[in-house]
Amino acid sequence: MSDGIADGPPALTHLEPHPALGNRLASAPGILCCLDFDGTLAPIVEDPADAELLPAARAALERLAGDPTVTVAVVSGRSLADLRERVDVADVVHAGNHGLELDEGSASTVDPEAVARRPAVEAAVARLRAELDGVPGCIVEDKGVTASVHYRRTPDEHVPTVREAAREAAAATDGLRLTEGKRVLELRPDVPGGKDRAVRRLREHHPDALPLFVGDDVTDEDAFRALPTEGVAVLVGDREDTAASIRVPAPDDAAAFLHWVADVRADADGPGAGT
């Protein structure tokens, strides 16, 4: 995933795109553009129900999805239904619940092992809602095949209680595992992989496309690592420990980067050029 720019993930802004990256994007026969939602296409907000796609990001998705040489996929920890509603851009693939749910327009699939563990998720949600009912700012979200415990608005003195309750709920419920994101704890079916599951599936369907993944959270690292050597991993933010090869500072910059990608494809000469 290295772009040969420097060791580690150097900053990349839309004002100073690296020429080698532009050349790769322009010359590729197609692009598989995979994008996280929260913290990438939408700013992180205290209440996840308030998250909205940035207007500039929506415009970029519309441009990229309108290019027949580009496949756009939004890969999120949100449920598939929630993701569809918030993105609402034509010709975009949706992968919800960290790739356990995939909607490619013509067909939707849910991991059968995750479906089988649905009763375990329900039991964990019921337990956590009872135990954390009095904790300020804590939201226990049932997402169907997974569950999230959001504590972004929870005062620091209550955070250990939230974390311990989630850990105990996962340990006490067969078939679940606990993972962590930005001020969120997630109980997922204990099946291999995360967002990399969706990336691998999409790469099978688009084997000749250059894969690109843009994301901000530790849950995006599986997807970064799933990219081939020629793939492009872009971190949104300043987190140090990452498999990404380049970074942009914030969601606004991620939107600008996506517009740059659309410009590169539209301006490319020869095979693989966008429309």
Catalytically annotated residues = 36
Task: Report the Cα 95 to chain-centroid distance in Å.
Answer: 9
Distance CA 32, CA 71 (A): 5
Q: Which amino acid is at 106?
A: S
- Burial classification of residue 191, based on how many CB atoms lie within 10 Å of its CB (0-12 exposed, 13-18 middle, 19 or more buried): middle
Tell me how far the alpha carbon of residue 63 is from its chain's centroid.
19
Report the interhelical angle of 19-27 vs 251-267 (nearest 10°): 50
Letter for the amino acid at 251? Answer: P
What is the C-alpha separation between 149 and 151, in angstroms, rounded? 7
Q: d(Cα 73, Cα 112) in Å, to the nearest integer?
A: 21
